[in-house]
Structure 1
Amino acid sequence: MQPTVRALMVQGTTSDAGKSVLVAGLCRVLARKGIQVAPFKPQNMALNSAVTADGGEIGRAQAVQAFACGIEPTVDMNPVLLKPNTDTGAQVIVQGKAVQDMDAIGYQGYKKFVLPSILDSFSRLQQNFETVLIEGAGSPAEINLRENDVANMGFAEEADVPVIIVADIDRGGVFAHLYGTLALLSESEQARVKGFVINRFRGDISLLQSGLDWLEEKTGKPVLGVLPYLHGLMLEAEDAISVEQVTKVAKPLQVVVPVLTRISNHTDFDVLRMHPQVNVHLVGKGQPLPAADLVILPGTKSVRSDLAYLREQGWDRQIERHLRLGGKVMGICGGYQMLGEMIADPNGLEGDAGQSPGLGYLPVQTVLEPEKQLKQSHGTLTLPGQAPVAVRGYEIHAGVTSGVLPDGAPVKLETGQGPVAEGVIGLEGQVFGTYLHGVFDLPEACDAILTWAGLSESQTPDMAQIKAENIERLADAIESHMDLAAIWPAWHAVFESADKKE
C-alpha cells in the first residue's frame, strides 16, 4: 500500500506565475501514477466559472484541474469564489452558492467568518482522496491582504500544509521575486516552504545554473525544478483575457467579440481561437468593430452596465450596420439578454435597481432574480436550414427570460421529463441567442453555428482531445524537469521509475 501524503500547496510570486497550470500538471502526474488526488483552491477571484454536477459554481481552473485528476469537480474544490461586478466589489460565492455582494473592505472582515467553510471543504477532500493539491491566489507577500488571509499562507498555517513557490522567469526578475517573497514571510511560514519552481524557461539551463546556486545558498531552499516554456500550450484561462489575441493569418470566417468590462466565461471562445478556418478578433475599449461574418456578444457579470458600455463605445450602431449588410449576430448568456427587448433588475442585484432597453433584435424580455440558475445541460441545436445536432453546455445566470416560443426555439434541452425550449432565433434568421456556455465545445454544434454564420465545410477541432493532450504534455514536462521524489519523499518509489531529461 502506498503511504499517504496529505497535501501540498502551490503558491506563486505573482498572479499568473503558473500556479493553476502547475497544479493541473501535478494532478495529472499523480493520477497517472495511480494516486487518488483532488485539486483545491480556498479562495478564487475569477469571472470564468464552471457548474458542478450538483448545481454549484466554482472557478473554472478547478474544473480543469479535476479533469486532470480524472474526477468530476465538486464545490469543495473551490469553496470561496469571488466574481467581481465593480472595481471595488464582488459577488461572494461560498460552497457553490451566492451569499451576497461585498466591497473589498467588507470582504476583508468577512474572511474570518468564511474560514470554517473553507476548512470544512478541505477536510472532506482529505477524507476522500489520498492527497490534495492546493492552489494559492496572487502572492503570499501582499502585505495589505495578509490580515485574516485564507488564500495563501493564512490557509497553509491553519491547515498545516507544506508549500512550494513558483515564479515565471519569462516575466523577468525571477530571483528577486523568489528571494523577496520568501523574505516577506514570517519565520513559521518560511519554514513550511519546501522549495521553489521556476516556470517558462527558454534556452540553455547551464546559463541559469549560477543563479540557481545563488538562490539556494541565500535562502537555504532547493530549486525543485525549472520547467520549460511550452509553446502553444492550450489550457483554459483562469480569468485574464488579452485583446491582443488576434490572428494575422488569412482565414475564411471572421468572428468579432466585443470585450465587455465584466466579460465572463470567455473560455467559450477557446475552440474558435483554435479553429483552423476562423479568425477571432477580440475588440477592446475605443476600438471599432472590424468587418466580420459573425459578431458574438459574450457573457458578463454586469449586464445592464455593460450594455451601457457597449452603447458608449458605439458598438450598438456598428452591430446595426453589420446586420444591414447581412452579417450574423450571436449572444451568449448576458449577450443573449442584451439582444432582447428589455433587461430589468428590480432588486438591484447587479447595481442600481431599474431596467434598460435591450438592442431589440430578439422578442424576449429578461428579469434578474435573486436565485441564480446553475446547471449542466445537453440536448439538440437546430439552426435555420439545418438538421438537429447534439449540443452540450452549462448555464450560470440570474436572468429569467420570457418570450421564448417552444416551437421556434433553436435549442431543446433534455430534462428527463421531455425537451425544454431554450434560446431564440430572430431577425429572419440573422440573430441567435442562448444561455448555454460551452455551446461551441461539441464539434457538431460548433460546425452548425459556423455554417449558419457562413463557413463552408467547417472543420472544428475536438477540444476535449486537445485539452487532454495538452495536460499530458504538461505532465510529461513536469516529470522530466522536477524532482518529484524530493517533494514527496514518501512516494519515492512511485517516481523513481520516471525518466529524467537533462
Structure 2
Amino acid sequence: MPGIMLQGTGSNVGKSLLVAGLCRAARRRGLTVAPFKPQNMSNNAAVTKDGGEIGRAQALQALACGLTPITDMNPILLKPESDQGAQIVVQGQRWKTAKARDYASLKLQLIGAVIESFQRLNAVYDLVVVEGAGSPAEINLRANDIANMGFAQAADIPVILTGDIDRGGVIAQIIGTQAVLDSADAALVAGFLVNKFRGDPSLFDDGYQMISQRTGWPGFGVIPWFDHAWRLPAEDALDLTSGPSTGGVKIACLTLSRIANFDDLDPLKSDPGIDLVMVRAGEPIPADARLVILPGSKSTRADLAYLRAQGWDIDLQAHYRRGGHVLGICGGYQMLGHSISDPDGIEGPAGTMPGLGLLDIHTVMTSDKRLTRTRARHLGSEQLIDGYEIHIGRSEGADRSRPFATVHGVNEGAISSCGRVTGTYLHGLFSADAFRTAWLAGLGIYARPYNHARSVEEALDALADHMETHVNVPALLALAR
C-alpha cells in the first residue's frame, strides 16, 4: 500500500493533529514520511518554498515530518471569499473563483492534479499520511469526490475512520457512517479511532466493543484529549481561542468574519508574558488592552464592513485616544488607511470604501498577487524577520515614509506620525523571538523569554508520545506497508 488515510465522521474531529502526530511518530522510527491532503478549505495558508500556498495544517504536518512545505502536500486549496464562493488554488497557484454550486462540476478537472501530486510524494517517501476533508458520510457529495473516498479509491489506499467523542454520539457517528457508505467505499475502511476522550478511557470499553461488533472494523485506540493542542497552530478560525490567562500584558485581536493567516497570533498566544484576547462578534475591545491587532482577511472590504457592524471602529478610536497601540497585518493594514479601492471587483463588487483613517495611506486592489517567503529587517530594532507575504493590493501614502521594515533594501509597511499605529504586509513576524521581544518592548510590553519554535517542536513530540501511548501505531503503520 502507498500510505494510509485518516478520514473523519465529520469536520473538526481532530484529523489534522492526528496526522501530525502519526507523521512525527513515523519519523522517529526512522521512516521518511510526508503529509498529504487532496483538498483543503481554509483561509489560513502557508507559503511554500516552491512559491505557492497550501493549508496551514499541512505546513504543520510537514514540520512534524522534518520537511519544508511544498505545494504537492495540498494540491487543492479552497479559500472562502463569501458564504457562497471560494477561490480555488491548484498546486499552489490561483486557478479561478467559483460558486459552491459550480464546484462539483469542476472536480473532474482537478483529480488529475491531485493524483499527480500524490504520486510525486509517494515516489520519494517511505510513507505518505493522508488527511481527508469533512466526512465520507456526506454521500450527497460522493459523485466526483476528490477529498475522501473518491481519492482513496483512485489511490487504492486504506482508510482509518476517526470519530469525536467530545461532541457526543460517537457510536452513531462511526456506525452511521458505515451504514451510508456503499460497499466498495466501506471495504476501504481498515478500522477506526475514537478521539478527544475526557476522563478515564476504560469507561468507554463497552462502547468501543459495540462499534467493532456492529461494523466489523477493528479499533486502533481511544485517544484522550490532548492538553497541549493550544500550543500548535489552529487551522480553522472556529478553533481560535484566547491564550491561557497568564496575568501578562493584554493584547486584543479582532476575530474578523474572513480572518486569514491567523497563525500570526500563535507566538503571542503561547507567550507566558502575554494575555491574548480574541475579540468576537458582539464583544467590545477591552479597554485595558495595550495593543489591538487587526489581522489578515480574505475579503478586506467585507471584513471592514463587519468590523464597523460590531462597533469596533468606535472602540478603536477610543483605544487610540487613550494612547493605545494598533497593528494591522495585511488586510488589517489596508483597513487602517483612508480608503480601499477595488476598481475591477476582485474581492467583490467594484467600488471604494473609506478606511479607518489611522494611517495616512490609500490602498488599490490589483489582480497581481504577491506570494513569497520573505526575510525582512525591522527598522526600529534591526532584528531579522523570516516571514511571508500573501496579498493583493498596493498601499501608498505619506506614512509609507516611515516604514516598518526593509525587504532587500526596499521599504515595507507604514507607521503613523505619532508612532502608535503600524501596518505591514509581513505574516509570521512574531515567530521571530528576538524581533517579537524587541518590538513589544518598544510598546512598553516586556514579555518573558520564550522560544516559539522550540515550543512547537516540544508540542509535536508530546503529541507523538500521546499517540504512542493510546494508539496502536505499529498496527497502523503495518497497514500502510
TM class, shorter-length = over 0.9
Match of 1:352 in 2: 349
Residue 384 of structure 2: aligned partner: 390
Shift of residue 460 of structure 1? 4.5
Contact 1:225–1:481, Cα closer than 8 Å, also in 2: yes
Q: Which amino acid aligns with 1:327?
A: G
Q: What displacement does 1:223 show?
A: 0.4
The 2-side partners of 1:192 and 1:77 are apart by 22
Which residue identity lines up with residue 478 of structure 2 in the other structure? P
Query: 1:441 — aligned with what?
Result: 431
SS in 2 for 1:190: helix
Structure 1 stretch displaced more, 326-335 or 164-173: 164-173
* In 2: Cα distance, 1:242 partner to 1:484 partner: 27
Q: Report the equivalent of 1:423.
A: 413
The DSSP-based 3-state class of the residue aligned with 1:488 is helix
Deviations 1:39-93 (A, max 9, x none): 1100000011000012101000000000001111111110110011111111111
Aligned to 1:500: none
Are 1:166 and 1:196, in contact at CA under 8 Å, matched by a contact in 2? Answer: yes
SS in 1 for 2:429: coil
TM-score (norm 2): 0.96
Any conservation in 2 of the 1:404–1:422 contact (CA below 8 Å)? Answer: no
Segments of structure 2 that go 5 or more residues without pairing to the other structure are none
- 2:403 aligned residue (383, 397, 409): 409
> Which residue of structure 2 lines up, in the alignment, with residue 368 of structure 1?
365
Counterpart pick for 1:400 among 383, 394, 398: 394
Matched residue, 1:271? 267
Counterpart among 449, 458, 461 of residue 469 in structure 1: 458
| 1:300 paired residue number | 297
Structure 1 contact 166–198 (Cα < 8 Å) conserved? yes
Distance 1:209 1:320 in 2: 56
Deviation at 1:185, TM superposition (A): 0.8
Matches of 2:265 and 2:480, distance apart in 1: 40
Superposition deviation, residue 397 in structure 1: 0.2
Identity across aligned pairs (percent)? 47
CA deviations 1:455-484 (Å, max 9, x no partner) are: 13x225211111101111111121222222
2: CA distance between counterparts of 1:484 and 1:129?
Answer: 18
Correspondence 1:197-236 to 2 at 5 A: 197-233=193-229, 234-236=231-233
CA contact (8 A) 1:404 1:423 kept: no
Q: Please give the residue correspondences for 1:247-286 in structure 2 after superposition, counting only pairs within 5 Å.
A: 247-248=244-245, 250-251=247-248, 253-286=249-282
Alpha-carbon displacement from aligned partner over 1:161-190 (angstroms, at most 9, x marks no partner): 110011121222111111111221111111
Preserved contact between residue 58 and residue 78 of structure 1 (Cα < 8 Å) = yes
C-alpha displacement of 1:21: 0.6
Alignment partners' CA distance in 2, 1:403 and 1:460: 36
Residues 405, 421 of structure 1: 8 Å contact kept = no
CA contact (8 A) 1:425 1:431 kept: yes
**Separation in 1, partners of 2:128, 2:164:** 23
C-alpha distance in 2, partners of 1:174/1:389?
A: 49
* Alpha-carbon distance between aligned partners in 1 of 2:201 and 2:133, rounded to the nearest angstrom: 28
Compute the displacement of 1:406 (Å). 7.4
Deviations 1:377-431 (A, max 9, x none): 1121133xxx3212121111011222377763121123xxxx2211111131010
For the pair 1:337 / 2:334, whether they are aligned, the reply is: yes
Among 21, 26, 33, the alignment partner of 1:30 is: 26
1:115 aligned onto 2:105: no
5+ residue gaps in structure 1?
493-502
- Between 133-142 and 242-251, the greater mean CA deviation after superposition: 242-251
Distance in 2, matches of 1:8 and 1:441, equals 32
Structure 1 match to 2:472: 483
Q: How many residues align?
A: 479
CA distance in 2 between counterparts of 1:16 and 1:243 reads 13
Q: Distance in 2 between matches of 1:491 and 1:44?
A: 22
CA distance in 2: counterparts of 1:327 and 1:297, whole angstroms: 14
User: Which residue of the partner structure matches residue 59 of structure 1?
Assistant: 55
Distance across 2 between alignment mates of 1:68 and 1:220: 32
Structure 2 match to 1:497: none
Are residues 1:45 and 2:45 paired? no
From 84, 89, 107, give the equivalent of 1:88: 84
1:322 shift after superposition: 1.1
SS at match of 1:323: helix
Measure, in 1, the Cα distance between the counterparts of 2:6 and 2:392.
34
